[in-house]
Amino acid sequence: MNSSLGVERMSTNEVAEKLKASTVGIAGLGGLGSNVAMALARSGIGRLIIVDFDEVERSNLNRQAYEVEQVGQRKTEALMYNIEKANPDIDVTAVCQKLEPGMMHFPFEDVDIVVEALDSAETKAAFIEEILLKLPDKPVVAASGVAGIGKSENINIHTSGNLFLIEDKDAPSSDDGILLAPRVGLFAYWQANLVLQILTEGMDVY
Amino acid sequence: MSIKVNTNPIDWVEGESITQLLKRMNYTFPLVVVKIDGQVIPKAKYSETIVPDDSIIEVIHLISGG
């Protein structure tokens, strides 16, 4: 392209093409991951690799993108079905396995962006560390401090190299605080929005 | 003779490991990601990695919930 402005305004089609050609990996399909996946599917991301070993429980339904009928199903299968219903054009690869230290990066070797959507702080830290070390070129979009009600204005983004952390530093741990759809959803949708931003970097889209 | 931890200047202690620094700062060891001058340090190396003078340390603290 030859523009004196330096940046070409991209048409909606070009953005759609870019997103369709992209692959995003999501580690954990709880309140963060299931909602990130649905948002990215609706946005037309070409391929999603979704990873979780767990099954849908009744207590998940207050914040996770599953339905009553799906209780007892594997999250990978249930989410694949829900994605298909929202947007049948998405290529979904479901990986039903626990992420074991030393091998956590395996499902994400071919993705453009890794989304950290895990539950316990310990697993989050181990996963982020391993991806940054083993797949140093991949952007990692993570979240921390999702528990609680209100205080939306405390949520912020911390960027450190390839790590993009959506966080509320003062939030309680989920052991001490309640997990509900609106606040967890804010983090999930911020993560998804950031994924789109990174994928369309350099394109003049607002 | 100082280092920065999450942008706060603190005294540099000769021979101090990451494990000792985290203890001094009251950080909970398994819940963090640590970078020294932009380089991620694996947890397995916290006790053998000595914090150099003038270094910029980043301790990223993760909170449970998802």
Residue B43's φ and ψ, nearest 5 degrees, are: -55, -35
The terminus-to-terminus CA distance of chain B in angstroms comes to 40
As for the ipTM of the complex, it is 0.95
Residue range A58-89, pLDDT digits in tens? 999 999 999 999 999 999 999 999 999 999 99
CA–CA min distance B61, chain A (Å): 8
Question: Under an 8 Å CB criterion, which residues of A touch B?
Answer: 28, 30-33, 117-122, 124-126, 128-129, 132-133, 142-147, 158, 160-161, 163, 165, 167-169, 171-175, 177, 179, 184
Residue range A9-30, pLDDT digits in tens? 567 889 999 999 999 999 999 9
**Among the partner residues A28, A168, A172, nearest to B66 by beta-carbon distance:** A28
Q: A91-95 and A140-144 as β-strands: parallel, antiparallel, unpaired?
A: unpaired
Token couple for B63? 């909170």
Q: Is B35 on the interface with A (CB under 8 A)?
A: yes
Mean predicted lDDT score pLDDT of chain A: 95
Whose tokens are 């998804």? That residue is: A192
**Among the partner residues A118, A125, A126, nearest to B66 by beta-carbon distance:** A118
Does the beta-carbon distance from A129 to B43 stay under 8 Å? yes
Q: How far is CA A138 from the centre of its chain?
A: 14
- Enumerate domains of chain A plus CATH numbers: 12-199 (3.40.50.720)
Question: Is 50 exceeded by the pLDDT of residue A172?
Answer: yes
Domain boundaries, chain B: 2-61
Whose tokens are 């369709």? That residue is: A20
How many inter-chain contacts (A to B, CB under 8 Å) are there? Answer: 85
- Segment (H or E) for A186: helix A181-199
In this structure, what is the dihedral angle of CA atoms A159, A164, A168, A169, given to the nearest 10 degrees? -50
CATH topology of domain B2-61: Ubiquitin-like (UB roll) (3.10.20)
CA–CA min distance B12, chain A (Å): 23
- Segment (H or E) for A134: helix A121-134
CA–CA min distance A197, chain B (Å): 22
- Residue of A154, A59, A140, A80 lying closest to A105 (CA atoms): A140
Round to whole Å and give the CA distance between A57 and A38: 18
Average pLDDT over residues A148-157: 98
The pLDDT of residue A1: 44
CA–CA min distance A49, chain B (Å): 18
Residue range A19-66, pLDDT digits in tens? 999 999 999 999 999 999 999 999 999 999 999 999 999 999 999 999
